Structure 1
Amino acid sequence: MASEAQLTLPLCPPTPASFEQFIGDEANDAAVRALRHFLATPNETLFFLAGEEGTGKTHLLTAACAEVEHLGARCAYAPLAEAVALSPELLSDWEQYDLICLDDLDAIAARNDWEETVFHLFNRVRDAGHRLLISAPRLPALLDIELPDLRSRLQWGTSFRLRMPDDALKQLILKNRAHQRGMRLNDPLADYLLRHYDRNLGRLMCLLDRLDKVSLARQRRLTLPFVRSVIADMASERQG
């Protein structure tokens, strides 16, 4: 029977994504092709994605989970920035999964119990012939991981660094996500969000989620006054 900690941590990504929904430049598209090749040809144990917040790391990890599950395999996903509040024992027996996705590995840096656990998990996954997909803001050699054996293991696989999209690409990503949610985000509105709200793509996506919920609840379409009012409400909530 699973422990309470294991039940608390989602084994599946809460918001599934797909590779087809990922919009990137030429360099990031190359990373996606390499990742899909890694998933299709299990010759390596580890694939490592590095990139700043907003470059799409979590999107690609959730897309990888969706792809392997579509093929009948099993995937486990751990958002380590949240999971470190729990016991690392929750990763016990995870080598049984065909693909294990560890998001934000930097969150366990200098946490001896977590570093040891991930190191031993790596070895068990390799012995089982399964695979690890890991993300962090920086490449493995630049992380503040203290356990030498884990630092070494993290450099065994294929690594790619995702580039931050420029404003034109961010605008395209925003409009595409809005379209997927049934909202029409025109160019002036997308430009307004980039100029006056936040240039961080992750936080912009959170804003789109909020706009979607509020527009449905109020039966409103996206207009500049409506968007401004939702942003003002969010600012008031943070201050309160």
Structure 2
Amino acid sequence: MAGRPRPRQLAFALPHAESLSRDDFLEGSANAAALSLVESWPEWPNRIMLLAGPEGCGKSHLAAIWAERAGARSITAHGLNAAAVPGTLATGALVVEDINPPAFDEPALFHLMNLAREDGAFVLLTARLPPPAIEIGLRDLRSRLRAVPVVTLLPPDDHLLRALIVKFCADRQMNIDETVVNFIATRTERSFAAVRHAVDQLDAESLRQGRPVTRALAAELLRGRD
């Protein structure tokens, strides 16, 4: 019927598979030290180590690579409780991800670190901030964490930034060319999370409009970020 508005196309955010294998890890100067730590296991300077870096920088990917090598179990800090601590160390290796107060049981983590030291277990911790910057209420835990050696992941350089864009697009089965990669790279904040967010937005807008991912579409979406 004339004059009737066309229905707006809905975009469904379908889950995409993101490989966490060693072969799919993108190496660069920003993560070289962290990757070296993972690959040097079990020759670590300490049985408990911590990876620190911003959201999306690859901590979970590195933790998954190490867990595969070491036969480690994995748990998030907020899923830890005192009763479960002995079981989590059953294999002699454990990943504890996202130490981000106040969303975890501080006494449970302190108990875990003590038990790991007694049992000679390996533990890989991840956090967005280094221990001195994490607000920990339990003094003994604060002291114990500050004694843990830290490997920090840095912001991506130009090469790694562009490689991340290509990988995030490939994970979503988005076909892009170099002009799109360059356009996104020059108009997003130099951080892992910002690049991931830009690619997510571009994917959603492409689905909504039923358009291929082109520089023109990226320009419409990222307008004003110059």
The TM-score with structure 1 as length reference comes to 0.67
- What is the SS of the residue equivalent to 1:105? coil
Q: How does 1:16-165 map to 2 (within 5 A)?
A: 16-26=19-29, 28-38=31-41, 40-41=42-43, 44-68=46-70, 73-78=71-76, 80=77, 83=78, 88=81, 91-92=84-85, 93-108=87-102, 114-165=105-156
Instruction: Sort the Cα spacing of 1:118 and 1:65 in 2 relative to 1 into closer, same or farther, 3 A.
Output: same
Q: Which amino acid aligns with 2:20?
A: A
**2:114 is matched by which residue type in structure 1?**
N
Question: Which range is displaced more, 46-55 or 151-160?
Answer: 151-160
Does 200-209 or 169-178 show the bigger shift?
200-209
Deviations 1:143-191 (A, max 9, x none): 2222222123224443211111134421122114434655433222123
| 3-state secondary structure, aligned to 1:138 | coil
Cα 1:91–1:206 shift into 2, 3 Å: farther
Q: Pick the structure with greater CA Rg.
A: 2
Counterpart of 1:174 in structure 2 is 165
Does the 8 Å CA contact 2:97/2:126 hold for their aligned counterparts? yes
Task: Give per-residue Cα distances to partners, 1:97-144, cap 9 Å, x unaligned.
Answer: 4332222213347x6xx1111000112222333221111222223322
| Number of equivalenced pairs | 205
- Pick closer, same or farther for the CA change 1:181–1:64 going to 2, 3 Å: farther
Q: Is it true that 1:194 corresponds to 2:185 in the alignment?
A: yes
User: Are 1:183 and 1:212, in contact at CA under 8 Å, matched by a contact in 2?
Assistant: yes
Equivalent residue, structure 2, for 1:11: none
Which one of 163, 169, 175 corresponds to residue 184 of structure 1? 175
Query: How far off is 1:50 after superposition?
Result: 1.3
* Root mean square deviation, CA, Å: 3.5
Normalized against structure 2, the TM-score is what?
0.70
Aligned CA distance change for structure 1 residues 90 and 192 (closer, same or farther; 3 Å)? farther
Structure 1: runs of 5+ lacking an equivalent: 1-13, 233-240
1:47–1:157 Cα contact (<8 Å) kept = yes
Distance 1:145 1:35 in 2: 26
Letter in 2 for 1:128: D
Q: Which structure carries more helix by proportion?
A: 1
Q: Secondary structure at the match of 2:95?
A: strand
The one-character-per-residue Cα deviations of 1:23-60 (angstroms, maximum 9, x if unpaired) are 3433621321122213x347732111112234322221
- The one-letter amino acid of 1:57's match is K
List alignment gaps of at least 5 residues for structure 2. Answer: 1-16
Does structure 1 retain, via aligned residues, the 8 Å contact 2:94–2:123?
A: yes
Counterpart for residue 6 of structure 2: none
Question: Which residue in 2 is equivalent to 1:222?
Answer: 213
